[in-house]
Amino acid sequence: MPSMNEDDAASMTEQLENRLVDSIKDHEGVSRRSVLGGLALAGGSAITGIGAAQSGNESGGNATTGHDASFGTPGKYTEKNFDPHGYLREFNTGDSTNERDAIFGKKDDLNAGVSQENGQTVREFNLIAVPQEIEIAPGVTFPSWTYNGQVPAPTLRVEEGDLIRINFTNAFSDMAHTIHPHVQNLNPAMDGVPQNGPGAIKPGETFTYEWQARPAGTHLYHCHMLPLKAHIHRGMYGTIVIDPKPEKVRENPRDYIDYHGPITDEVREMAVERAKSRNMISHADYVPDGYDDIDEMVMMNGFDTNFDADNEVYAANTRAFAYAPAKTHKYEGEWEGGKTKHPIEIKKNNLQRVHVIQTLEYDFINSFHTHSQFFDYYDAGTTLFPNRSTIDTVMMCQAQRGLFEIDYSDHQPGLYMFHGHQSEFAEQGWMSFFEVTE
Ligand SMILES: [Cu+2]
């Protein structure tokens, strides 16, 4: 028997979703595609027309693009340019032959190539600051400021010791931006703050950032223009995963272990094995004992739709309730736009790794909570042994990030909920399900 009836879960989600849409429909930050009824469930009225979408109390002006006139259906996402399920497992390594085009239906040349320079691997990416309307609840769009037209920005994946080269273009007409990485940067000019190096990258300008890929872990990049909270809240943030190099771990295991006891050969080998299992780039086929495979995903975020410095919509990856059951697809496995809402399907014998970054502005704390299972937690993903084990909730401050390892191998197939345990966040979109399958 499934742990929860799918139709019940879908009905609950739909009611929460309708209440959310109804509560934000008149906010200055959102646009509403015409909706024919369907909102009455939450006591709301049918809405027509498109609202204003201007920047409110933030500096920087209007960054809104045009709307299309398509009709949304309650409960359905219609934008096809971002699929939360595709995003979840999309790791860009700089390899220009990857399948990003198939996921996003457009070519943006994000992956600009992998090469060798002076004995170092260089992974090159093209990031473009561009305004973009994004869909944050069914039929509701938000005027976002983005890297490459998506929120969160593309996930970059590199190996410890690589050079990350970012060819950055600011395609805004009215606003400067930067990219600031949370890595060990050896050159202050590359820190991506307005006060140093190239400073603010003005409209139409380009700059090439170079960052050393260290330390291994789950890291953040974001715009650092002022007001900082506006640039982050509007959507200019993404993830950099730096895979640990087993050879480096063998040489200096203590750098990767939050432990002060003796480093025995056994501890050293365990650390090396764990580094291999974390390294998707040069050890992609390595699977730890007891598992069929390793599955990885990235999650985050939230939106202030009326610009009152308080968030109204919360999500794992931008679209409220995108990973919850929906009546519209009935588990047909269809991942195209408008049908993207469904639980995250995971195989019970795979080790699940979830990279979570707390990118909310305006709320100081978010959290990650799993139902019916406990997990290991690695703060910033910088250690190879967990900082905390056998817990089911982690509290996270702004910019804090971590790696979660979850094992459902002894669980019955079915739906298992996860959400932020600030109940308000959960009911406003940050509520999702894993669907555990055989
Ligand atoms: Cu910015």
**Is the Cβ–Cβ distance between 122 and 205 less than 8 Å?**
no
Residue 221 alpha carbon to ligand 1 centre in Å: 11
Residue 203 alpha carbon to ligand 1 centre in Å: 11
In angstroms, the CA 87 to CA 82 distance is 8
Q: Residues 6 or more apart from 188 whose CB is under 8 A from it? A: 196, 197
Residue 201 alpha carbon to ligand 1 centre in Å: 9
Q: What is the 3-state secondary structure (H, E, C) of 217-268?
A: EEEEEECCCCCHHHHHHCCCEEEEEEECCHHHHHHCHHHHCCCCCCCCHHHH
Which helix (H) or strand (E) element contains residue 18? helix 6-24
Residue 152 alpha carbon to ligand 1 centre in Å: 13
| Predicted local confidence at residue 382, as pLDDT | 97
**Is the Cβ–Cβ distance between 111 and 100 less than 8 Å?**
yes
| Predicted local confidence at residue 48, as pLDDT | 25
Residue 406 alpha carbon to ligand 1 centre in Å: 34
| Residue 123 exposure: Cα atoms within 13 Å on the Cβ side | 23
In angstroms, the CA 79 to CA 82 distance is 7
In angstroms, the CA 33 to CA 416 distance is 32
Q: Look up residue 275 and give its amino acid.
A: A
**Is the Cβ–Cβ distance between 47 and 11 less than 8 Å?**
no
**Is the Cβ–Cβ distance between 27 and 52 less than 8 Å?**
no
| Predicted local confidence at residue 104, as pLDDT | 66
Residue 229 alpha carbon to ligand 1 centre in Å: 10
**Is the Cβ–Cβ distance between 145 and 133 less than 8 Å?**
no
Residue 186 alpha carbon to ligand 1 centre in Å: 23
Low-confidence stretches of the chain (pLDDT beneath 70): 1-4, 32-75, 99, 101-106, 327-340
Residue 42 alpha carbon to ligand 1 centre in Å: 36
| Predicted local confidence at residue 86, as pLDDT | 84
Q: Is 374 helix (H, G, I), strand (E, B) or coil?
A: coil
Per-residue pLDDT of 272-328, as tens digits, reads 999 999 999 999 889 988 898 888 888 878 888 888 888 888 899 988 888 887 765
Residue 102 alpha carbon to ligand 1 centre in Å: 28
Can you give the residue ranges of every domain in the chain?
Answer: 6-245+290-437
Do you find a cis peptide bond into 215, omega within 30 degrees of 0? yes
Strands of the sheet with 237-243, listed across from one edge:
156-159, 237-243, 217-222, 180-181
Residue 176 alpha carbon to ligand 1 centre in Å: 6
Residue 143 alpha carbon to ligand 1 centre in Å: 13
**Is the Cβ–Cβ distance between 173 and 205 less than 8 Å?**
no
Residue 149 alpha carbon to ligand 1 centre in Å: 13
DSSP letter, residue 179: -
In terms of CATH architecture, what is 6-245+290-437? Sandwich (2.60)
